[in-house]
Structure formats: C-alpha cells, structure tokens
C-alpha cells in the first residue's frame, strides 16, 4: 500500500518512482492525502445496521474461512457503500467479485450499509482499518475504548460476516504504524486488545486478517514477532504487486513471504491486495497471478486493486491484460456466492 498511502512531504517527493514500485502496495490515501472514504470508497459510519440474521445468534463464519472455491476480490471506487463500481467491474471482467475491499481510517464509523450492500449481492466485505491519527500504544492501553466498543457493537448488531485487516504492512518502514515507529510488542498488544474488545462485544462474525507486505523490499524484518498468534488470526492477508523492477514469477513475488509465514502458522492465506504495473508484461503478470493462486491449496484467492493511485492499476487501461484476466476469471474455481459457501 506504500504507493498511494505516502503523504506529500519533501522527503517523499524526492523518492524515485522506481523505488515506489519496488516497495509496491496501494491504499487509503491518494497523492493529495484524500481518503478513499471521502471519495466514496466507504462510509464514515452512517448506515443501516439492523441485524442481518437472528440478532441473538452470532453469524457463524466458519464455512467462509476456507471454502471450496477461491475468492475473487476487488477494490473499486465507491464500493461497497455504492455498488455501481462493482457492477462496472463485473461487466468488464465477466464475473462479479465476491470479496469487496475498502479502506477506513481509525475514527471512521463501521459502514454497515456498505457491508449489507455487498452481502445482498453475494459478496463479503473486507475493511482495511488504518490507524493514522492514533498510536498503537494508546489503542493497547484502552485510550480509545469508547470508539472501539461502539464500532464492535455496530459490527455485532449488523450480524453479517465481515473481514477486518488492522494496520496492515506493519513490517514496512513507510507506515506510521510501521517499523520506524512501532515495536512488534506494541503492534501485537494493540491487535490483541482490539480482538479482545470485539470478543467481549460478542462480535464473532468477524474474520481477522493479519496482513504483512511481501518481504521483498524489507528482507531484514522478521514477520513472526509481529504475529499475534493463531488464537487471534483467521487469515494471513499478504500484500504484494507485480512490478517491472523484479521477476514476475508468482513464486518470486509471493514465495519468500509465504515460505516465511508457514514456518510459524498454518492459517489460510489470501492475497489481500495486488495488481500489476501497466506495460507489455502485464498480460503475463495476470496469467502468473491466476496460475499461482490456483496451484496453492492454502491460498484462498486474491483482491485486485482497481484504482489509479501513483500508478494506474485499473484493468481497463490494458486491453490485452484485461482480455487475459477475463478469460482466466471465467474458471469456475474463482468466485462463489458467499451466502452459500
């Protein structure tokens, strides 16, 4: 997410574009510091959070944790608060995404209306929850428990499955909550406090996705110290992009990270955020992505970041790559109605 989340500073402006591509990733902020939520990429908390099922019985997410088919996910403008972007993406790729990712800052309310919108169309919502204006130490200490408890209560009240990825790319130095500012101990403490607060609220309808960046640009940072433990994590959501600066083999992009992760947990993995840099190689990148995900039984699927943020990751700008993407997406292995896993 480094590419689009960096705030505009003199230091950031001096970075070469090739360095940005090497680090990969995209997320909440564009170059001007505008949040995806303010652009229609999520809600600031308003919405219908009336129960999606029997309010007295928490939704059982177990069938969604490792379904028989792969998740076919997308992050698109406006979704899931508005599903128009999803409809456009569906028409373009020939298949409806069943995992919709949006970005929310710490302090935003839970987008219950958006989660319901996605659910009504057979899709699960993934919230990338980013603590820009709060320290992880304060979260762990309970300084923002009033907000946290209200958020957890809203999630429980809606009682539909939702995926939460908190403070992703913690192994990167480019994040406020990354390696330059936060220790692994502080990160784990904040994660556990959030998880425990949701548990106390009865919000067991959450799938927790722990989401490091691929290790390629930060090989010296060990992942295991940042891992909260199997009791606090349901999915490992890896974030990584196909860029021109490195070999585009699936194993080259994701292999080192997956190999390291599997030394300390056997939890299912998901490519939580990915795309391929535009250019002549993009068609091959798409082919490698689908083939790699298909061949890995522990890989749940992927989310394509279909935004223009520091690079144009949208499929529509590369007709040949889009044609290949559409051909491969037609495989019945990818996508399913999450209401009937």
Annotated catalytic sites, by residue?
169, 273
256: Cα within 13 Å, side-chain hemisphere: 16
Question: Phi/psi of residue 79, each to 5°?
Answer: -85, 150
Is residue 232 within 8 Å of residue 204, measured between CB atoms?
no
Question: Phi/psi of residue 128, each to 5°?
Answer: -90, 105
Burial class for 72, CB neighbours closer than 10 Å (0-12, 13-18, 19+): buried
DSSP string across 281-314: THHHHHHHHHHHHHH-TTEEEEEEE--BSSSB--
Rounded to whole angstroms, how far apart are CA atoms 272 and 6?
19
Rounded to whole angstroms, how far apart are CA atoms 165 and 236?
9
């Amino acid at each position: 997410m480094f590419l689009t989340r960096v705030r505009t500073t003199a230091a950031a402006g001096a970075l070469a574009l090739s360095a940005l591509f090497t680090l990969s990733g995209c997320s909440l902020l564009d170059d001007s510091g505008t949040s995806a939520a303010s652009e229609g990429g999520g809600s600031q908390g308003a919405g219908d959070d009336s129960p999606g099922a029997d309010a007295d019985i928490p939704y059982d997410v177990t069938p969604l944790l490792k379904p028989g088919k792969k998740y076919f996910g997308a992050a698109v403008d406006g979704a899931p608060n508005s599903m128009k972007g999803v409809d456009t993406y569906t028409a373009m790729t020939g298949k409806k995404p069943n995992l919709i990712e949006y970005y929310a800052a710490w302090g935003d309310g839970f987008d219950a209306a958006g989660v319901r919108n996605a659910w009504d169309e057979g899709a699960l919502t993934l919230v990338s929850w980013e603590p820009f204006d709060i320290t992880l130490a304060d979260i762990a200490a309970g300084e923002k428990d009033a907000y946290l408890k209200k958020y957890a209560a809203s999630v429980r009240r809606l009682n539909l499955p939702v995926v939460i990825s908190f403070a992703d790319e913690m192994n990167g130095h480019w994040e406020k909550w990354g390696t330059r500012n936060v220790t692994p101990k502080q990160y784990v403490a904040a994660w556990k406090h959030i998880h425990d607060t949701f548990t106390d609220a009865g919000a067991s309808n959450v799938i927790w996705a722990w989401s490091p960046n691929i290790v390629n640009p930060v090989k010296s940072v060990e992942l295991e110290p940042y891992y909260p433990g199997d009791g606090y994590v349901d999915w490992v959501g890896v974030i990584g992009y196909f860029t021109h600066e490195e070999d585009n083999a699936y194993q080259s992009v994701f292999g080192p990270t997956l190999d390291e992760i599997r030394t300390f947990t056997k939890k299912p993995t998901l490519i939580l955020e990915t795309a391929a840099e535009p250019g002549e190689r993009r068609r091959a990148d798409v082919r490698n992505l689908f083939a790699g995900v298909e061949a890995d039984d522990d890989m749940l699927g992927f989310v394509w970041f279909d935004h223009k943020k520091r690079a144009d990751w949208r499929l529509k700008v590369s007709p040949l790559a889009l044609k290949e993407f559409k051909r491969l997406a037609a495989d019945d292995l990818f996508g399913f109605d999450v209401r009937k896993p």
